[in-house]
Structures are given as structure tokens and as C-alpha cells.
Chains A and B, each alone.
Chain A
Amino acid sequence: MFAGFMTNAWIVGSIAAVVAGVVGFFVVVRGSAFVAHALPQSAFTGAAGASLLGISTVFGMGTFALASALGIAWLGKRGRHDVVTALTLVMLLGTGELFLSYKTEYAQAIYSLLFGEVLGVSANEVLPSAVVAGVAIVAVALMYRPLMLTSVLPDMGEARGVRSHRMEMLFLVVVALATTAAVPVVGALLMFSLMIGPPAASRCFTDSPLAAIALSVALALVTVWASLAIAYERNWPVGFLVGTIGAALYVIGRLWAAWRQAHTVRPGSVGLAPETAPAH
């Protein structure tokens, strides 16, 4: 399974896992899962449009993902965020279908953009993926503190001069970049699962934010590597495996958190539980 034609899949898959683990941590913290679902779909539409025009699909994906990110951020400030995201999503999916209807001979390539592929990752996709993923990760590192502040305590952040809306826009651009880097391997539909499952699971195992990000990356790598290996051996679709393993990790995480909660009593805990305390 480490044959020449698989090498590219291993490399791009690992890149996707790292970027999804880092960016996905904030997707989960900010409750932006729906946007993280919509942006990969817009990347799919971009790829369909690019293949229609005969230009680079990565370029098409990036352009559409970025435009959608900025559009959702801009419109979300003026209307209800979930409604704006949903309308952007359905409009782009419809447009993607329109693009496809003009160019049936590329249906197979488009199918793999939606659901991912193992064998078809070409060498010239590796470098663009690595560069875009690198930019996304550096961006998260640079905006880590204000992003965390506005994600957790938006009012206190505003009072300190950190504009929540500006951070939201920057963050959506980062999600768009992560999407562009990862879609060629795991596919548009399942890049989403990679950005949710491993980061959500990592939160169950540690109380430290940086440790949770590191664990999120590790779990995403395990998910992708296991998926590629099983896909190669059994010829099952990568997308199915990524989605299922990601969800399984989350279930294990919840079970572990419940077990830990039941077996630890925090010393010195007094007073009433806050309204937001977890229901046991």
C-alpha cells in the first residue's frame, strides 16, 4: 500500500489531516460546523466550474471557497447566520449541478471531488495542497489568541478592542483555505467530517486548549491513515471510512469523558452549579 501511486495519497491525506485538526478545533469551539459544511460544497462548485472552463480545479475551488467565506461573513452580519449559510450552500450546490450538466465527460472526476479518492491523487496536486495548508496553519497560529478570545468571550473581547466580526471573517477565510487544501483527497462532503470528528473527540480528553489542538491533529492523522489503509486493502470508499472513524472517535471520547466525570470529585468545589453546567 506504499506503492508509488499511493505515495501522493498518503502525503496529501496527511496534509489534509493536519490542517483539518488545527482549523477544526476552532470550527468546533465557535460552533461553526454548518459553515464548515457549506464551504467544502462551494469548493466542489468551484471545481466543477473550473473543469467547465478548462482551468485548474484547485484554483476554482479556492476562488469559490474564499468568495463564499467572505459572502457568508458579510451577509451573516446583516441577517441570520444559519439562514445565510444555508442559502449560500443550496445556491452553490445548484450552480455546481448546472456546471456539471454542461460537461458530462468529467462526471467521474467531479464524483471524486465530492467523495474523495485514493488512487487518483496526482503529483502536481501535492505542492499546492501543502502551500495552502501551510498558509492556513500559520494564519491560525498568528490569530490564535484574539480568535480564542472572541470565540469564548465575545463581549469581553469587544471591550478590549477585538472586533468579533473581523475575526469571524478572517476565520472563515482560513476555513476556505483548509478546504481547498484538503478536498482533493477526502472530498468536499467528507472534509467536513474530518474538521468535526477528531477536534470534537479531542475535547473530551484534555482541559488544555493547546493539548487539545495537538490531540485533534493526531486523531485526524489516525483517521486518515486508517481510512487510506482500509480503503486500499478492502477497496471501500475513503469518504465512508473517514466519516465513520471520525464519528467513532467522538463516541469513544464522550464515553471516556462520562467515565472520568463519574470517577473524579474535584476538591474544594462549592456553591451552586452554573446554568451551563453539563446535565449528568
Chain B
Amino acid sequence: MGPAEASGNLVSLDGISVWLSGHEVLRDVSFSVRPGEFTGLIGSNGAGKTTILRVILGLQEPTAGRVLVKGKAGARHNRSVGYVPQKVLIDPDLPLRARDVVGLGLDGHRFGLSTSSGVRRRRIEEMLGAVDAAGFADSRMGNLSGGEQQRVLIAHALIGQPELLLLDEPLANLDIASGHEIVELMRRVATEHHVAVLLSAHDMNPLLPAMERVVYVAAGRAASGTVDEVVRSEVLSELYGHPVTVLRVEGRILVVAGSHDQTEILASAPHWLERT
């Protein structure tokens, strides 16, 4: 039994650094994900979120440090990790229905002729139902809305029965209502199916109702813990290497540059706060 397994972690990153073409993309990133836990991977564009997900998937070799998935190194092609990448572009002319995409998640990696058994059909139906996609199971993938496509892709990743689901910016390009539905769906998946969820986003507010832990990434470095532990002015100022202030307004969190005192910012930028 490895040390990670002993500690009950599904995934643990230990001192991960990644250099890509002369740039340090990640520096000394360490955090872990426990089974069935909903973790938000928060950071602005270019902070290193996608690289972290690719390291866990084994698609990016770290320059230093090690990553353990279920206590084992070398996570590449680990069946226990499911992945929904950012920006999946589906050709609207492609003759492929939602149910076909979910079917590819079940046995798309296998060579040989498909056996279209009743068991396979039922599993696909079940999974489509679990993500509320039964209503458009026979619709062409390219004709679905962004939120509908996202749900089908989640079903594609879930049907392989992973213990960890990685989602890269699933809320980008979605309207607020669809984004809320996706977060609610992922919270349900984490609790009911006991699948750990690591979901990246540049805005943490839509995730606050669901998020049990947060990994906050800035300038290639990361801090992890509960939202109350991590999203504080001192922690984030240290992470950014620049003074920032964390404001809590009506249950929402704002991270703004500068170390001004709270009232001063509120007074100087009320219109800006209202819009957010």
C-alpha cells in the first residue's frame, strides 16, 4: 500500500513543476483529491489549470515532482480518470447522435466489431437519463446547445465508471442557467455516484454552493484547502506575489488587486460591484 493510498487520497500531486519551451508553467504544485469530493480548480486564463489536468491525465510529463493516481505513478490511460476537455468543437454536419457519443465513452477505445447488445443499450439509456439528456438522445450532437453538448460529454466520460472526473472550464461559453445546471449535475454525480470531481473555472462564484475544496492557481503556483482557508487576502497575496484583497459581498467572493481597505474600494467602485 502506497503512502497516498494509506492517506485515502484518490489523486495526489507532490511538488509538481512543469517547464514548457523555456517557461515555467507550474512551480511546486502540491494538492490531493479524496474520493467523492467536489474540488474547484480556480485561476485566471493561463494560470496553469489545463496543465494541472493534463499532468493528472498523464498527457503532460512533469519536469519535477510526482503524481499518484490511486497510489500508483504513471497515470496515463488510467481507466479510473474521466476527462471532459475545454472547447470540444462538434461539426454540425457530423452524423452522430448524443447516444452514439455516450456509446463511444463505453467502448470507443476497443478495436473489433461492436456487439450491439441489450445490456450496452440499457447502460447508455441509463447514463443519458442520469445527466438529463434522455430527451435529446437521438438528436444530432452538432445541433445541440452548448449546455446539452456538455451534458452528453459528461455522460461520455462517466459511463466508463471513473472514480475521478476532470472537467476543463465546462462553464465557459455557457449561459448562466445552463452553467448552474452543470454545477448542480456535477454535485449530484459527486454525492450519488461517489465520483470525485475536479472542475476548473476562472470564476469560483458559480461553484460556491457545490465546492467542498478549492485549488487556487495563480502564476503557476497553487494553494489548496477549503474556500475559507484558501480564499483569504493573505493567502492569495502570497500566491500572486502581489497584494490582493478578497471581498465577500452577498455570498459572493471578489478578488481585486491592491491592498486598499474594503470600504475604500466599495466607495470608489460601487457600479463595478453591482455589475458583478
Q: Which residues of B contact A161 (CB under 8 A)?
A: 76-77, 109
Q: Let me know if B65 is at the binding interface, CB within 8 A.
A: no
A143 B59 Cβ-Cβ under 8 A:
no
Assess A152 versus B90: contact at CB under 8 Å? Given A146-B110, A276-B142.
yes
B109 A276 Cβ-Cβ under 8 A:
no
| CA A278 to CA B92, docked complex, whole Å | 6
Assess A207 versus B173: contact at CB under 8 Å? Given A159-B81, A162-B108, A268-B135.
no
Assess A146 versus B111: contact at CB under 8 Å? Given A153-B156, A156-B85.
yes
Q: Which residues of A contact B90 (CB under 8 A)?
A: 152, 274, 276
| CA A274 to CA B144, docked complex, whole Å | 7
B145 A157 Cβ-Cβ under 8 A:
no
How many pairs, one residue from A and one from B, have CB atoms within 8 Å of each other in the complex? 137
Of chain B, the residue at the smallest CB distance from A25 is B95
| CA A149 to CA B84, docked complex, whole Å | 13
Q: Which residues of A contact B108 (CB under 8 A)?
A: 145-146, 148-149, 157, 160, 162
Q: Let me know if B234 is at the binding interface, CB within 8 A.
A: no
Of chain A, the residue at the smallest CB distance from B177 is A271
A266 B175 Cβ-Cβ under 8 A:
no
Q: Let me know if A34 is at the binding interface, CB within 8 A.
A: no
Give, as a whole number of angstroms, the nearest-CB distance from A25 to chain B: 9
Give the size category of A's interface with B: 35 or more
Q: Let me know if B238 is at the binding interface, CB within 8 A.
A: no
Q: Which residues of A contact B57 (CB under 8 A)?
A: 158-159
Give, as a whole number of angstroms, the nearest-CB distance from A197 to chain B: 14
Q: Let me know if B136 is at the binding interface, CB within 8 A.
A: yes
Of chain B, the residue at the smallest CB distance from A215 is B95
Q: Let me know if B139 is at the binding interface, CB within 8 A.
A: yes
Contacts A153-B88, A161-B109, A278-B142 supplied; 19 other A-B pairs, CB < 8 Å: A141-B113, A142-B113, A144-B114, A146-B110, A149-B104, A152-B94, A152-B101, A155-B83, A158-B59, A160-B108, A160-B160, A204-B93, A207-B138, A269-B145, A273-B145, A274-B146, A274-B173, A277-B142, A277-B145
22 contacts between A and B (CB under 8 A): A142-B112, A144-B113, A144-B114, A148-B108, A149-B109, A152-B104, A159-B57, A159-B59, A159-B81, A159-B82, A160-B109, A202-B95, A266-B139, A267-B135, A268-B136, A269-B148, A272-B146, A272-B174, A275-B173, A276-B92, A276-B142, A278-B143
